[in-house]
Structure 1
Amino acid sequence: MPIYELYSWGKHNQEIGHFASIVKIALVDNTISEGEQKLLDRAARKLNIKDEEYQKILKNPENFPVNPPVGYDESIERLYFLTKMIFADGNVDKDEVALMRKITTALSFPLDNVEKVCDEAIHLVMNDNDLEDFTAAIKKVNAV
């Protein structure tokens, strides 16, 4: 298998893991709201998730591990979309926030800073910040 195929296969597995994380947050309350469905559809398109993969992930997202991205900016982008999913149904559930903290740890954010990063992420999405502002603010909060 050529190197570029290995890279694209690995990248796609990361995208599948990320999508599964978004689905896990959507399913915390065992239902997917209209807002969550729209965000899932948009995320699936952006992450190149095929229909068959989409259905498998929806059926059992626990079968797909989080594969952290290599780059820091990619980790922040994933955090952004995870946080947006928490707000997609209009309710912020404490179980969603707890799961978000676990996923944030899996995205390679420092364990001693995860709570602060998640709190800032929630604040930023609540105030409708775009990805660019979100990224700058998270980098500031996560600076050691």
Structure 2
Amino acid sequence: MSIADFFDSGFKKRNEDHFAAIVRVAMSDDIITEEEKAFLDRLAHKLNISEAEYKQILKDYKTHPINPPTSYDKRLERLFDLARMVWADHIEGEKQIRMLIRLVVGLGFHSKNAKYITHKALDLVHEEVDLDTFMDEIKHMNR
């Protein structure tokens, strides 16, 4: 196995684990709504999750470890990606915002701040800011 293959397989595994963690959040109320399913479909595509892997993860999502990003910057990058997916596909609505709030908590943000962070993130992606601006604005929300 080459070094490139090793890193590719590690990246793939992280994407699968990340996807499984989001499925776990979506399943926290024991159902996946049509809106959540549509979001998961788009997310699976973005993370290069195959159809077979997708079905297996839906079936056995609890067998994947939960690996939230360990650094604050990595959490902000994932939040940026998730908020952009919600906004770009025009799926934003009350249900999607609730799901994004749950994902924010799943990323490791404090539940007391999740609603505020979610709304700020969506405001920033509506303004079409870049990642650096997004991260700076979220880090300094309380100025």
**TM-score class normalised by the smaller sequence:** 0.5 to 0.7
- Residues 83 and 100 of structure 1 are in contact (CA less than 8 Å); yes or no, is this contact kept in structure 2? yes
- Residues 68 and 107 of structure 2 are in contact (CA less than 8 Å); yes or no, is this contact kept in structure 1? yes
Counterparts in 2 of 1:10 and 1:87: CA distance versus 1, 3 Å: closer
Counterpart CA distance in 2 for 1:116 and 1:61 is: 32
Q: Is residue 44 of structure 1 aligned with residue 50 of structure 2?
A: no
Q: Is residue 32 of structure 1 aligned with residue 38 of structure 2?
A: yes
- Aligned CA RMSD, in angstroms, stands at 3.5
Counterparts in 2 of 1:31 and 1:100: CA distance versus 1, 3 Å: closer
Counterparts in 2 of 1:110 and 1:142: CA distance versus 1, 3 Å: farther
- Residues 18 and 67 of structure 1 are in contact (CA less than 8 Å); yes or no, is this contact kept in structure 2? yes
Q: Deviations over 1:55-96 (max 9, x none)?
A: 434x55855565311111111111111112212321312111
- Residues 77 and 135 of structure 1 are in contact (CA less than 8 Å); yes or no, is this contact kept in structure 2? yes
Shift of 1:118: 0.7
Q: Which runs of no fewer than 5 residues in structure 1 stay unpaired?
A: none
> TM-score, normalized by length of structure 1?
0.66
- Residues 69 and 75 of structure 1 are in contact (CA less than 8 Å); yes or no, is this contact kept in structure 2? yes
Q: How does 1:1-144 map to 2 (within 5 A)?
A: 12=13, 14-20=14-20, 21=22, 24=26, 28-29=34-35, 32=38, 40-41=44-45, 43-45=46-48, 49=49, 52-57=52-57, 59-60=58-59, 63=62, 66-141=66-141
Counterpart CA distance in 1 for 2:142 and 2:51 is: 36
- Residues 113 and 142 of structure 1 are in contact (CA less than 8 Å); yes or no, is this contact kept in structure 2? no
Shift of 1:119: 0.8
- Residues 76 and 135 of structure 1 are in contact (CA less than 8 Å); yes or no, is this contact kept in structure 2? yes
Shift of 1:50: 5.3
- Residues 19 and 43 of structure 2 are in contact (CA less than 8 Å); yes or no, is this contact kept in structure 1? no
Paired residues, number: 128
Shift of 1:138: 1.1
> TM-score, normalized by length of structure 2?
0.66
